[in-house]
Structure 1
Amino acid sequence: MAGTLLAPLSGIPLERLMQMAVERGYSAQGEMFSVADMGRLAQEALGCQAELLCGGLGGPNRDRVLQHLVAGHPLLVPYDEDFNHEPCQKKGHKAHWAVSTGVLLGVQGVPSPGYAEDPELPGLFHPMPGMPCQPPALPDEGSAGAVYLLSKQGKSWHYQLWDYNQVRDSNLQLTDFSPSRATDGREYVVPAGGVRAGLCGQALLLRPQDSSH
């Protein structure tokens, strides 16, 4: 899904990504319990830059993530998936990957020039294509300003808006391997240190190869 933004003309088939992951020892059957391995796979398969983000999506990393999304680049984030695909907290037992490709910011005032109000949704403003525009000030982490990530999980047909703090909190509690997976008789590739070392508090910032930070 991130590849459609980063390399829309290359069209890397999912089957080829799976084959590469298995050949390189990152995965046995599609699972990916290492953010670092996912970054290596993305760089090789998509020819993109992959920055490994550690320490969670909060604190100083929050502005980096939001600026990255405002610039139009995708974020890959592991999280616990609830029955409706939204983030939840299951200690990593429901760990899945999602791609975030945009951000919805709740701000106090009308954005500066360069934005157009949605014709169907009053109060919703979009950047105008080809027009220089200054991104609005990002709400502080502890403020009442709303921040939602436009996100999609592979099994869902639709993009969803997820509260940023819910994604942050779900990503921060990925610590344990699912007991049901541990006893299902199948093989999985889990890094040294387990799910906590491979996924907890980590994400990937993906950029085209020719872009600057």
Structure 2
Amino acid sequence: MSHTSPVAPPPPPPPMLMSPGTSVHAKDVPVVVNITTGECSWAWEFPEVQKGCFFSRVCEYAPPKHCQYYNVKSILQVGPTCGLVALSMLLGGQPTADYLLKDAIANEFTLNGELFSAQYLYKLTRKHMPGPGACQLHEGLLNCKKVKDLLKAGGCLLVPYDADVNHAPCLKSGHRAHWALIVGYLVDIQDRFYVLARHGKTQNLAVWSLETLSESNANLLEFAQPKGYPDNDFLQPPGGIGGSLGLNERSILVNGLPQQVLHVR
């Protein structure tokens, strides 16, 4: 195990050193899984990674060729604020999601916290991560060399996608649009590329196929009234979520964050 040193610009605090049993304070308690059958034992020193791979059935019996991630503290969302919470997690909780919500409302990016425009979230990200090259708006498929190289270099992603009932990427034409923060990656022995993700619906670290996430990101075409908010008005950008200012095949690439790296060889 080795640690890369922070490089400019470093908005969030340095990552915490993880050890067996490390706890993370949040508003809920993560699911406790007692893995006793040897699955994902290569990650026993990193319980969140082990649990995420166990749930996703990734690298159960063989270690990955490489796995690295940034130890970002989870924040749970209140209301339809998934994009703002993802940005606050990226920034180490400062500014808070509540502050970002006020900022987004003042800039007429949102009504309730929803962000159906990657361009709007990009503007907020750039505002709170000043500096040349701190972030950029990516247009196109996620499953590409540019995104993989960014993650390998210690970068992060803010990604909209359709969230299934278990919050994993799915294809619902944008009807379940949600934002996640990609904090690392994993490559298995068959060279399949996975991402490690945080989002505002759970404290647990998620492990998703980059290909599946890319397909979900590319199917964000239509707005659907969220079931939990039948009477709320939601702000869509000109052209809707599938337009040039929307979410379809859009993501935010973040460069130069400090990163804790786990080597398994």
Q: How far has the Cα of 1:4 moved from its partner?
A: 4.8
Q: C-alpha separation between the residues in 1 aligned to 2:217 and 2:112?
A: 23
Deviations 1:33-88 (A, max 9, x none): 01011000011123362211112213xxx111111111112101100001111000
Q: Residue 166 of structure 1: SS of its match in structure 2?
A: helix
The answer for unaligned runs of 5 or more in structure 1 is: 108-143
- Percent identity, aligned pairs only, is 30
Aligned position for 1:177: 223
Match of 1:201 among 249, 252, 258: 249
Map 1:71-90 → 2, pairs under 5 A: 71-90=153-172
1:21 aligns with 2:69: no
Map 1:143-154 → 2, pairs under 5 A: 145-154=191-200
1:55 aligns with 2:137: no
- Ranges of 4+ aligned residues in structure 1 off by more than 3 Å: 1-5
Aligned position for 1:112: none
1:98 aligns with 2:180: yes
Q: TM-score, normalized by length of structure 1?
A: 0.72
CA RMSD in angstroms, aligned pairs only: 2.1
Map 1:25-40 → 2, pairs under 5 A: 25-40=108-123
Q: How far has the Cα of 1:178 moved from its partner?
A: 0.6
Deviations 1:97-138 (A, max 9, x none): 00101010124xxxxxxxxxxxxxxxxxxxxxxxxxxxxxxx
Map 1:106-121 → 2, pairs under 5 A: 106-107=188-189
Q: Residue 152 of structure 1: SS of its match in structure 2?
A: strand
8 Å CA contact 2:135–2:255 kept in 1: the answer is yes
8 Å CA contact 2:155–2:255 kept in 1: the answer is yes
Q: C-alpha separation between the residues in 2 aligned to 1:22 and 1:208?
A: 28
Q: C-alpha separation between the residues in 2 aligned to 1:80 and 1:4?
A: 20
Q: Residue 194 of structure 1: SS of its match in structure 2?
A: coil
Aligned position for 1:164: 210
Q: C-alpha separation between the residues in 1 aligned to 2:231 and 2:215?
A: 31
Q: C-alpha separation between the residues in 2 aligned to 1:2 and 1:178?
A: 23
Letter in 2 for 1:154: G
Q: How far has the Cα of 1:3 moved from its partner?
A: 4.9
Q: C-alpha separation between the residues in 2 aligned to 1:103 and 1:159?
A: 12
Q: C-alpha separation between the residues in 2 aligned to 1:165 and 1:207?
A: 21
8 Å CA contact 2:116–2:236 kept in 1: the answer is yes
Letter in 2 for 1:24: N
Q: How far has the Cα of 1:13 moved from its partner?
A: 1.1
Q: Residue 207 of structure 2: SS of its match in structure 1?
A: strand
Letter in 2 for 1:72: G
Distance 1:44 1:180, change over 3 A: closer
Q: Residue 32 of structure 1: SS of its match in structure 2?
A: coil
Q: How far has the Cα of 1:207 moved from its partner?
A: 2.5
Q: How far has the Cα of 1:188 moved from its partner?
A: 1.2
Q: C-alpha separation between the residues in 2 aligned to 1:81 and 1:179?
A: 14
Q: C-alpha separation between the residues in 2 aligned to 1:79 and 1:40?
A: 19
Q: C-alpha separation between the residues in 1 aligned to 2:87 and 2:191?
A: 27
Q: C-alpha separation between the residues in 1 aligned to 2:116 and 2:187?
A: 31
